[in-house]
């Protein structure tokens, strides 16, 4: 338990920065909608709505119906999720590897606590941070949406989007966590996590441009839950199960491999 709290404490400063960032992003984004909808000269949403698919994909907005408030928020959701993935990877690849990287392994690993327990407690701490991230996004969004458009509540849609974001973030967390648990070299595991993230991001852009690429979807967590579905209050059941299974598998694999391997001191 003390380990759990200690880990949370160590990320406090980082968390502060990220919270500020989220608040700014969400605030600025939704604030802009207000400016636009309250009689701007250019009806951006209408125009964007008629953009060709490839064009939208370039901006990372493929498949998002911009013509409604929900759709507009979907844009923001898409962007915050990217940041969420970066956050998850940073924490996931770092929290386990830091003991070897900072050479504190000789301190922690000889304490009367099994490696498995250490791993699980760290995972719990990392997950908590992800939860905080999602809650902050949720709360900020809800608050600002309420202020900007009290009537057009999209609270249900928002809830679905936040849950989706949470799952996607947990996916990236689990993958990078596993890489750190499995690989001896902390540098390599963090670079690999970065590659995974970049690849999935670029693939998501490609999927937007080209048709018939749905087969790639399994490689792109960002696309597991399409915004259209979320706005319809629907979480794709296949991907829901898939992602949960993947997360669990990654965790079990981490718990299996980590105690077995040599620690790089």
Partner 1 sequence: MNVFRFEFKQLFKSTLSWSLALALVVIIFMSFYPVYYDQIAIMKPLFDNLPELLLKSLGVNVDTLFTGLGFYSFILMYVQLIAAMQGMMIGLGIVGKEVRLKMNDFILTKPMTRSSILIQKSLAIFSHLLITWVLLTILSYVMLTTVETTELKFNIFLLFALSTLLLQVMFASLGILTAVLLRKLKSVVGVSMSVVFTLFVMNLMQAILDEPWLRYFSPFQWFEKSYIFYNSSYEWPMLAMCALVTIGSCVGAYVVYTHKDIHAV
Residues that bind partner 1 (CB under 8 A): 21, 25, 28-29, 32-33, 42, 44, 47, 50-55, 58-60, 75-76, 79, 82-83, 86-87, 89-90, 93-94, 98, 101-102, 187, 190-191, 193-195, 197-198, 202, 205-206, 209-211
- Of 50 and 151, the one with the shorter C-beta distance to partner 1 is 50
For tokens 């636009």, name the residue. 36
Taking the complex as a whole, the smallest distance from the CB of residue 133 to partner 1 amounts, in Å, to: 13
- Of 161 and 235, the one with the shorter C-beta distance to partner 1 is 161
For tokens 């391997």, name the residue. 261
Taking the complex as a whole, the smallest distance from the CB of residue 30 to partner 1 amounts, in Å, to: 10
Taking the complex as a whole, the smallest distance from the CB of residue 206 to partner 1 amounts, in Å, to: 7
- Of 59 and 242, the one with the shorter C-beta distance to partner 1 is 59
- Of 91 and 235, the one with the shorter C-beta distance to partner 1 is 91
CA distances 196 to 40, 83, 89, Å, are 40, 15, 10
CA distances 204 to 28, 82, 126, 210, Å, are 25, 11, 25, 10
Taking the complex as a whole, the smallest distance from the CB of residue 207 to partner 1 amounts, in Å, to: 11
Q: For the residues of 169-197, what is the DSSP string, one character each? A: HHHHHHHHHHHHHH-S-HHHHHHHHHHHH
Distance in angstroms (rounded) separating the CA atoms of residues 230 and 166:
13
Taking the complex as a whole, the smallest distance from the CB of residue 27 to partner 1 amounts, in Å, to: 11
Taking the complex as a whole, the smallest distance from the CB of residue 58 to partner 1 amounts, in Å, to: 5
Taking the complex as a whole, the smallest distance from the CB of residue 217 to partner 1 amounts, in Å, to: 17
CA distances 24 to 29, 30, 96, 239, Å, are 8, 10, 30, 30
- Of 20 and 252, the one with the shorter C-beta distance to partner 1 is 20
Token pair for residue 148?
A: 């900007």
Which DSSP letter does residue 98 get? Answer: H
- Of 9 and 234, the one with the shorter C-beta distance to partner 1 is 9
Distance in angstroms (rounded) separating the CA atoms of residues 165 and 171:
10
Sign of CA dihedral 156, 159, 165, 166: negative
Distance in angstroms (rounded) separating the CA atoms of residues 52 and 172:
30
- Of 68 and 240, the one with the shorter C-beta distance to partner 1 is 68
């Amino acid at each position: 338990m003390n380990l759990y709290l200690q880990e949370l404490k160590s990320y406090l400063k980082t968390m502060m920065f990220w919270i500020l960032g989220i608040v700014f992003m969400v605030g600025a984004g939704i604030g802009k909608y207000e400016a636009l909808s309250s009689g701007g000269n250019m009806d951006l949403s209408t125009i964007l709505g008629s953009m060709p698919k490839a064009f939208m994909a370039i901006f990372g907005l493929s498949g998002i119906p911009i013509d409604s408030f929900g759709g507009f928020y979907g844009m923001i959701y898409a962007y915050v999720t990217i940041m969420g993935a970066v956050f998850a990877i940073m924490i996931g690849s770092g929290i386990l590897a830091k003991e070897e990287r900072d050479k504190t392994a000789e301190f922690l690993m000889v304490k009367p606590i099994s490696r498995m327990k250490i791993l699980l407690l760290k995972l719990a701490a990392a997950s908590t941070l992800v939860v905080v991230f999602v809650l902050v996004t949720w709360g900020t969004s809800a608050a600002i949406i309420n202020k900007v458009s009290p009537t057009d509540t999209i609270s249900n849609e928002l809830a679905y989007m936040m849950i989706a974001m949470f799952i996607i973030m947990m996916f990236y967390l689990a993958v990078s966590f596993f890489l750190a648990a499995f690989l001896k070299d902390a540098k390599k595991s963090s670079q690999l996590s970065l590659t995974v993230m970049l690849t999935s991001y670029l693939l998501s852009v490609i999927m937007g441009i080209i048709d018939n690429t749905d087969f790639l979807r399994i490689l792109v967590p960002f696309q597991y839950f399409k915004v259209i579905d979320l706005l319809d209050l629907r979480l794709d059941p296949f991907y829901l199960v898939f992602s949960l299974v993947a997360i669990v598998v990654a965790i079990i694999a981490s718990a299996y491999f980590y105690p077995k391997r040599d620690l790089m001191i």
